[in-house]
Structure 1
Amino acid sequence: MTLFHAVVTVDHHQAQVLQFDAEHVLAQKVKSHSHHTKQHGNTVRTEHEFYADVCDALAGIPEVLVTGSRNAMADFRHYVEKHRAPLAAHIVGWETIDHPTEGQLIAFARQYFVKYDRMAGTPIPS
């Protein structure tokens, strides 16, 4: 089930994707891969695989709000803009939030999207 809005909170090791509408919340966790090899560039490769998985979890969602620490969001944003440009068009905002609970994150995202939808002139789906 794909819902109209989603909020993702991302750090360098895991992400939580919450798709929601007025009555439903669909939660999904994405964790980074841990490869224990001595290959050159392994950290970057692992991070890219993780960000690719997060992008895959966001595929098909019309409006996405990304939250997290500044550094994690900057790295994720760079990845999205460079490797997943079509997804970038669906990301409506980047907000710095540190370690919210799921309930706090949903409440924040609902408030954000009410304001965003009003500013964009988009009717809020019911």
Structure 2
Amino acid sequence: MSLFHAVAFVDHQSAQVVQFDAEHTVEQKIHAHAHYTRQHGSAVRSEHEFFAEVCDALEGIAEVLMTGGHTGLADFRHYVEKHRPLTAARITGYEVVDHPSEKALLALARKHFVKYDQMGGTGTPA
């Protein structure tokens, strides 16, 4: 099921993507797979692989609000702007939050998208 809006919470170890409309929510969790080696830069490669999985989970979603801790969100934003410009174009905002519940995350997203939809003159599909 592809829904119009989504909110995603991302840090360096996991991500939670919640797609929603007026009546439905669909949640997906993504976990980082650490495969550390002695090779220089392996942590960066692992982080990029994880962020790529998050971007893949956002495919097909028209508008996304990204949330997370300051560092994780900044690192994700840097990755997506550099490596995934099509995904970056669908991100409507970045909010720094501290591990909200799914209910709190959804409330934040609904508030964000009401303002965003009113500014853009578009309505959320029913």
State the TM-score, normalized to the length of structure 2.
Answer: 0.97
Secondary structure (helix, strand or coil) at the match of 1:95 reads strand
Moved over 6 A (4+): none
| 30-39 vs 91-100, which moves further | 30-39
- Residue 19 of structure 2 is matched in structure 1 by 19
Matching of residue 51 in structure 1 with residue 51 in structure 2? yes
Question: Aligned partners of 1:107 and 1:36: how far apart in 2?
Answer: 37
AA at the equivalent of 1:29: K
| 74-83 vs 32-41, which moves further | 32-41
AA at the equivalent of 2:61: I
Question: Aligned partners of 1:59 and 1:32: how far apart in 2?
Answer: 18
Question: Aligned partners of 2:48 and 2:36: how far apart in 1?
Answer: 16
Mapping of 1:30-109 within 5 angstroms?
A: 30-109=30-109
Unaligned ranges ≥5, structure 1: none
Query: How far is 1:111 from its partner?
Result: 1.1
Unaligned ranges ≥5, structure 2: none
Query: How far is 1:8 from its partner?
Result: 0.2
- The number of aligned residues is 126
8 Å contact from structure 2 (residues 5, 19) kept in 1: yes
AA at the equivalent of 2:27: A
AA at the equivalent of 1:45: R
- Residue 115 of structure 1 is matched in structure 2 by 115
The one-character-per-residue Cα deviations of 1:14-70 (angstroms, maximum 9, x if unpaired) are 000000001111000011111032121110000000000000000110000000111
State the TM-score, normalized to the length of structure 1.
Answer: 0.97
Secondary structure (helix, strand or coil) at the match of 1:49 reads helix
Q: Report the RMSD for the aligned CA atoms in angstroms.
A: 0.7
Query: How far is 1:92 from its partner?
Result: 0.3
- Residue 9 of structure 1 is matched in structure 2 by 9
